[in-house]
Chains A and B, each alone.
Chain A
Amino acid sequence: MKRKATRHALLYVGVALTCAILVFPIYWLVVTALSEPSQLRQLPPSFWPDKPRWGVFGQIMAERPILLWLGNSALAAIGAVTISMVVSVLAGYSLSRFRVRGGQSLGLFILTAKMLPATLLVIPLFGIFRNLELIGSLWSIILAHATLIIPFTTWMLKGYFDTIPRELEQAAMVDGCSPLGALVRVILPVSAPGLAATALYGFVLSWSDYAYARTFLTNAQGNWTANLGITTMKGEYISNWSDISAASILVALPILAIYLFLERYLVGGLTAGAEK
């Protein structure tokens, strides 16, 4: 009994330490945002500002087009996720259901694209977008993000579709659906948790991107995404880290809200898709 209590205590201490390590950077971001810039370098550091600058968020929103940047990020993420979902639903379903020559190798080949680092694709994508005159357009990062998202979401959805009995779409076909009709009317509604999980994965990936936005959008200020916009707040000689931290919080809030709201759904979807 005593041994069990000790084991529990050790477990809780371990979990608490891990949480502290994970939460500390977020806490420090908040402290930095609310502190006067002059207080940031003082020793010993203050773990909570004497007079928190609650007005900093309104102030930077007035000084910078943060809402425009957030809007662009949202447009890019929604566009990339929409394209990715259409492609990966059809590809994942085909890989799951149709026996084609070399289908397995094709599936693995798609997955290898995910193994390549994103930066490796920057130069070829730049060449393509320049030819298509998309440099500076939000379309460039929408398409670039889709190339990153599709391989993984295709595999996620293939895994999810594998867990759905084939008889379900066979019943739909006997009831009068075409194969595509069975997918749309029966398989997709049944796959809602899996679709939500994959869509969120894609959204987060697109929202967090900096490298592509930095490469393709630098000369088009009206199309800057939030991550790109924040980096412009860093000066060559002086950087206001309090303002940068406050802007970072504003950018992180939407994604944090989505995660908190859909956390159970997301985890459920991921595990359900990974069952087989």
Chain B
Amino acid sequence: MAGIRIDSVTKSYGALTVLKAFSLDIADGEFVVLVGPSGCGKSTMLKILAGLEEASSGTIAIGERDVTDLAPGDRDIAMVFQNYALYPHLTVARNMGFGLKMRGTDAGEIDRRVNDAAKILGIDHLLERRPRALSGGQRQRVALGRAIVREPQAFLMDEPLSNLDAKLRVHTRAEISALHKRLRVTTIYVTHDQTEAMTMADRIVIMKDGVIQQIASPDAMFREPANLFVAGFIGSPGMNFLKAKAEAAGGGATAKLFGHDVRLPIANGGALAGREIVVGLRPEHIAAGPGQVSFTVSPRLIESLGSEQYVYVDLPEEHRREASSGGEDESRRTSLIARLINPEPRPPEATLTLSFDPARLHVFDAASGEAIR
């Protein structure tokens, strides 16, 4: 096992740069998740780490070794692919032992390690089967097993759960986390699913357009998102955004939200006076009934999940942001979602009083999108 140091890695295809000065230090035994929307460069970074793609510039070190120019097989890493990439002509046992065989490991030792890994994953009864005779979940375990038997310095996982159905995905997610706790092998995991990132990671690296947006623990990223993109990406449903203007008030700053002058939870509010801002409010921080800041709405739609309700409300015109060029969902710009826990049953056409605590608000600069604290 070893830590990984990625220093200013860039990847370009001609004029198109898909990865821009990516730098990251990963501690020995850490579970790091690269997350972001399609095309953000996360899989490219993983392939560069594996040696399957060449970096245009920058260096990568695994432990004390600079592996930037090493072939994939010489990096001492193991990879789990999105489609598992099991060798269809080999049995499960030979699939799992293939990497060890390539390294000239003694046949007896290969058998012992394959059997040990198969027992850990509960696939010891499948060892003589071919991949085509396995279910999706079993294939996924074999792919994990192939990585485990190698006892590598690091695991690289490229969206390994995306081909599983929802129930199995949740189950396997927990299994991978448990496996990591048991083996403590440095793991870099790529996904576009923020729930996977939040539940599995020691640290999340969130990316957009080839640029790291924020590196933080799941809780820190949820509590203190660095910018509008991170705030909108992390959390389900995503954060509500309201356009507003900051006003100076008694050394701090306020903004008019739903007709109320609401004090903003920022340190140096005076400097913000007169600036256009975006106020962020998480759906779960909105409560039913009166509170510190209350407002009455006519819900456009109420979705009930039993234990919780999603209430969709049209935002007042003055709080709607201009359409961005980033392909943002139009409904997120024009509506507000409240996530009400253990709600009272209510008819959808009834008006409803909602409230929030101003201390829960997030403030972002409208022009740059950066968080203001």
- Which residues of A pack against B, CB within 8 Å? 165, 167-168, 170-178, 181, 186, 189-190, 192
Contacts and interface: CB of A to CB of B under 8 A. Distances in A.
Contacts of B78: 174
A186 B81 contact: no
Contact of A173 (B72, B83, B87, B150): B72
A190 B99 contact: no
Contacts of B249: none
A102 B157 CA distance: 34
Contact of B87 (A168, A174, A181, A192): A168
Interface string B70-98: 01110001110111011111000000001
Given A165-B83, A167-B81, A167-B83, A174 B89 contact: no
A186 B99 CA distance: 12
Contacts of A167: 81-83, 85
Interface string B140-154: 000000100010000
A174 B83 CA distance: 15
A171 B102 contact: no
Interface residue tally on B, bucketed by range: 20 to 34
A185 to B, nearest CB: 8
Given A174-B52, A176-B102, A190 B71 contact: no
A119 B146 CA distance: 54
A175 B102 contact: yes
A211 B19 CA distance: 58
B73 A176 contact: yes
A168 B52 CA distance: 12
Contacts of A172: 87, 98
B85 A165 contact: yes
Name which of B82, B83, B85, B150 has the most chain A CB atoms within 10 A of its CB: B85
B52 A173 contact: yes
A175 B73 contact: yes
Contacts of B182: none
A177 B102 contact: yes
Contacts of A170: 47, 50, 52, 72, 79, 81, 85
Nearest to A186: B87
A171 B81 contact: yes
Interface in B118-139: none
